[in-house]
Amino acid sequence: MNENMMPLAAGIIVLLASLISLKVGLSVAIIEIALGAVGGYFGLHTQEWMTYLAGFGGITLTFLAGTEIDMRLMKEKFKESFLIGFFSFLAPFLAVAAYTYFVAHWSLQASLLAGTALSTTSLAVVYSVLVETGLAKTQIGKLLMASTFVTDMGTALALSILFVKPTLYTLIFMVVSTVVIIFAAKFSHLVFDNPRLKNKVIEPEIKYLFLLILALMYFANIGAGHAVLPAFVLGLLMSPHFKESSETKAVRNRLRTVAYAIFTPIFFIVGGLRVSFPLIISAWGLFAILFSLKIVSKFAGVFFLAKRYIPEGPMYTTLLMSTGLTFGTIASVFGLTSGIINQVQYSILVGVVIMSAVIPTFVAQKWFMPAHSEDIVELNGNGEKE
């Protein structure tokens, strides 16, 4: 395809996905992933600008997810979110690593990387679905996002401890991230409460937030890290700013609108474009087994805890915790570029990651949406029903 056609093709997919989502009542994220995968099969491919926008979109989504977390609820439900998130990581990590090493006869490094890649839960997918279904501000939604953060923290730690060799630049990334997060948490009110900046058409508050995210991305690239977790913590610590007044809530809503208009669709489309159907078909049996292992092990690790701690929607929780995208792709790309896995193994892992973003989300929305009980109500900033 002509290189100049890609922006037009991406624009068509973005609009078409939105229309299909409204028609069939499914999350636009999974429609965008699916259309991206189909487009890749017919010759569409990522370009450098798409890759960068996709990274920015994924991190912006993660930041927004952090702003939705209720700090009071997270402290009160720390045990619940930690247990669900930890076993959501541990069960698939052990199951996939053991199968690929002992049965599929991958190398130990490749098996550990496969376990890491398929242990993830996609905070971006979970947040997108919760926002679209109106559950992001409920106890179920906030507990789900907190648990997802724990899972992704486990994945990030596993990737760092097992594979990444820290350097001086890694330390710089960690220090700068900490400084940016502390600065933003303490001084962002000078931006949000400044009457000269409020309700301006040039949106200085949103540009300020974009600058913080871009700073995290820049130093993450220097330190061979990733800005997903710092961005989530940034959003988490800045969440009180977005609950102080209707004006700051409006800033977050406008940021969400901008993100959902272009950045996050590119993120999900690029995820779909990474699927290689021919390579997956060449190893279809292993692909099916690894996908089944991820789903079954997630069920084993999450369902019974969710049934105890989130009785309003245990299967819905389990299915959304089974999704993968950002960190699974990051781990797979790292394995390929580092020579830990080959191209076929990479395609299988990325295919499973992408498929896990689509199928569990589809099933969860179609058949396991939580009923509108007393718990499924919007909460205000103090955790009280509105």
Full domain range(s) for residue 215:
5-367
pLDDT at residue 76 greater than cutoff 60 = yes
Q: What is the mean pLDDT of residues 328-356?
A: 86
- Residue 384 belongs to some domain of the structure: no
Residue 373 falls inside a structural domain: no
In a domain, 85, yes or no: yes
Work out the average pLDDT over 219-226.
82
Q: Measuring CA to CA, how many Å separate 176 from each of 168, 191, 218?
A: 12, 20, 10
Q: What is the pLDDT of residues 155-201, one digit of tens each?
A: 888 887 887 777 888 889 989 999 999 999 888 888 888 888 887 87
Please write the tens of the pLDDT for every residue from 162-173: 877 778 888 899
For residue 385, being part of any structural domain is answered with no
pLDDT at 384: 42
Supply angle C-alpha 350, 352, 354, rounded to 5: 65
pLDDT score, position 372? 52
- Short-list 296, 285, 275, CA closest to 96: 296
Residue 375, pLDDT score: 45
Residue 386, pLDDT above cutoff 60? no
On whether residue 195 sits in a domain, the answer given is yes
User: Which of the two residues, 224 and 210, has the higher pLDDT score?
Assistant: 210
pLDDT digits (tens, 9 = 90+) for 82-103: 999 999 999 999 999 999 999 9
pTM above 0.85, yes or no: no
379, part of any domain? no
Alpha carbon 190 to chain centroid, angstroms: 30
Residue 382: C-alpha distances to residues 205, 244, 386 (Å): 24, 10, 10
8 A C-beta contact, residue 293 and residue 352? no
CATH number at residue 182: 1.20.1530.20
- Report yes or no on 250 lying in a domain: yes
In this prediction, residue 354 carries a pLDDT of: 87
Task: Give the residue with greater pLDDT, 28 vs 225.
Answer: 28
Is residue 153, in this structure, part of any structural domain at all? yes
- The mean predicted confidence, pLDDT, of the chain is 86
Q: What is the 3-state secondary structure (H, E, C) of the chain?
A: CCCCHHHHHHHHHHHHHHHHHHHHCCCHHHHHHHHHHHHHHCCCCCCHHHHHHHHHHHHHHHHHHHHHCCHHHHHHCHHHHHHHHHHHHHHHHHHHHHHHHHCCCCCHHHHHHHHHHCCCCCHHHHHHHHHHHCCCCCHHHHHHHHHHHHHHHHHHHHHHHHCCCCCHHHHHHHHHHHHHHHHHHHHCHHHHCCCCCCCCCCCHHHHHHHHHHHHHHHHHHHCCCCCHHHHHHHHHHHHHHHHCCHHHHHHHHHHHHHHHHHHHHHHHHHHHHCCCHHHHHHCHHHHHHHHHHHHHHHHHHHHHHHHHHCCCCHHHHHHHHCCCCHHHHHHHHHHHHCCCCCHHHHHHHHHHHHHHHHHHHHHHHHHCCCCCCCCCCCECCCCCEC
Percent of the chain, pLDDT > 70? 95
- Average pLDDT on 280-297 reads 94
Q: How confident is the model at residue 291 (pLDDT cuts 50, 70, 90)?
A: very high
If pLDDT is split at 50, 70 and 90, which confidence band does 378 have? very low
State the pLDDT at residue 382.
Answer: 39
Q: How many domains is the chain partitioned into structurally?
A: 1
